[in-house]
Each structure stands twice: as C-alpha cells, then as structure tokens.
C-alpha cells in the first residue's frame, strides 16, 4: 500500500510539473482579499475602459466599449483557475476612493496590454463607487488578470481591496490524504 501511495503522489507531482503547476505559481481565486493602491509610481496604460454603468456577468458578458483617451496609472493582479473545468469567477472591488480618486476594474484572459486596453478584455465592473463587482468565465488551467486603474489621470487611489471567488485552490495547497 505504501508503494501505491508513493506512486500516486509521484504521478500527481509529475502531472502537475508537466502542466506547469508549481508552488511558485500565481494564486488561485479562492477568496483571499488583496489590498492595493494606485500611485504615481505605478505603470501607465494608454486609454482606459469606458464606465458603461453595467456590471458584466458570466451570464451576461459585456463588450469593451470605446476606450477613453488619456494616460492612466494601473495595477495588474494575476490569478489562475487551477481547475480542470471552466469557472465563473466573481471579482469584488471595495474602495473608499471617490471623486477624482475613483478607480475602475476590468478582467482579462490572455494577458493585459497597457497599450490596448480592449485587447483580451472580457469584463468590467461598470461603475466606480463603493463596492463594485463583475464576473466572467475563465477556461480551465488558465491565468486571468484583474486590472485596477485610476479614472482621473495622476489622481491615484490610496486603498482598495480586491477579492476573487469561484476557483478552487491549487492542488498543492489543498489538504487531502491518500489512504
């Protein structure tokens, strides 16, 4: 039995290694809050997503509207759907930033291109106040980016909290036993 357990464990590690999964991978989207801010030291993107007032959802995905011209600071948060099936990921952004310090968030699959904010964009939060949400479908074993950007150029935002739910923990972080 001990040899079988060792074989199964080694086989699982080999499968994960071949799939590119390691302990140094990006976090899964399992609900751990991430605190962030946007400052003048953050990178800049060309244009920003348009706030259309509608939060995109897995059931009703939106389209990237015409971006608004300008140069805006942003912060990218990268996560991964470690599951073997697609997941509907819910993104919640909480902030007290208002007025010129408003922020806006968009979801991306396939990477974020700061020179082209609509490329790979699959969802956005729709508005910029208080608690904002969006959800979008993420294919199995795929990275996703959540980009939080300022709405007013060079205004920043001193604090926000980002929480994602809908994806399981990476296999190596789950607690399980083989008996």
Domain assignment of residue 13, yes or no: no
* pLDDT given at position 171: 54
* pLDDT given at position 27: 72
* pLDDT given at position 4: 40
Domain assignment of residue 11, yes or no: no
* pLDDT given at position 170: 62
Residues of the chain falling short of pLDDT 70:
1-26, 28, 169-179
* pLDDT given at position 56: 97
Domain assignment of residue 98, yes or no: yes
Count Cα neighbours of 13 within 13 Å in the Cβ-side half-sphere: 7
- Residues linked to residue 138 through DSSP beta bridges, in sequence order: 87
Domain assignment of residue 9, yes or no: no
Domain assignment of residue 126, yes or no: yes
Which residue range is the domain that position 38 belongs to?
24-170
* pLDDT given at position 65: 79
**Six-digit token pair at 75?**
């912060």
Count of domains for the chain: 1
For residue 162, the surrounding DSSP H or E stretch is strand 157-165
**Six-digit token pair at 111?**
């990477």
Long-range contacts of the stretch 60-64 (C-beta < 8 A, 24+): 61/122, 61/123, 61/136, 61/137, 62/123, 62/124, 62/126, 64/106, 64/117, 64/118, 64/121, 64/124
Sequence-distant (≥ 6) Cβ neighbours of residue 1 within 8 angstroms: none
Domain assignment of residue 67, yes or no: yes
How far apart, in whole angstroms, are the C-alpha atoms of residue 120 and residue 106? 10
What CATH code is carried by the domain that includes residue 58?
2.60.120.380
**Six-digit token pair at 23?**
């302990």
How far apart, in whole angstroms, are the C-alpha atoms of residue 81 and residue 83? 6
């Amino acid at each position: 039995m001990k040899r079988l357990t060792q074989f199964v464990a080694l086989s699982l590690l080999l499968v994960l290694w071949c799939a590119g999964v390691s302990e140094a991978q990006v976090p899964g989207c399992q609900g751990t809050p991430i605190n962030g801010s946007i400052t003048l030291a953050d990178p800049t993107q060309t244009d920003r997503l348009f706030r259309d007032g509608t939060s995109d959802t897995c059931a009703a995905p939106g389209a990237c509207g015409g971006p608004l011209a300008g140069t805006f600071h942003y912060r990218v948060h990268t996560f991964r759907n470690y599951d073997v099936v697609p997941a509907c990921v819910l993104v919640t952004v909480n902030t007290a930033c208002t007025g010129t310090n408003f922020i806006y968030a968009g979801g991306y699959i396939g990477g974020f291109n700061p020179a082209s904010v609509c490329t790979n964009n699959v969802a956005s939060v729709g508005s910029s106040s208080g608690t904002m949400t969006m959800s979008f479908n993420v294919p199995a074993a795929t990275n996703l980016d959540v980009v939080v950007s300022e709405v007013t150029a060079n205004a920043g935002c001193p604090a926000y909290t980002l929480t994602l739910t809908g994806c399981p923990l990476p296999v190596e972080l789950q607690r399980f036993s083989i008996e």
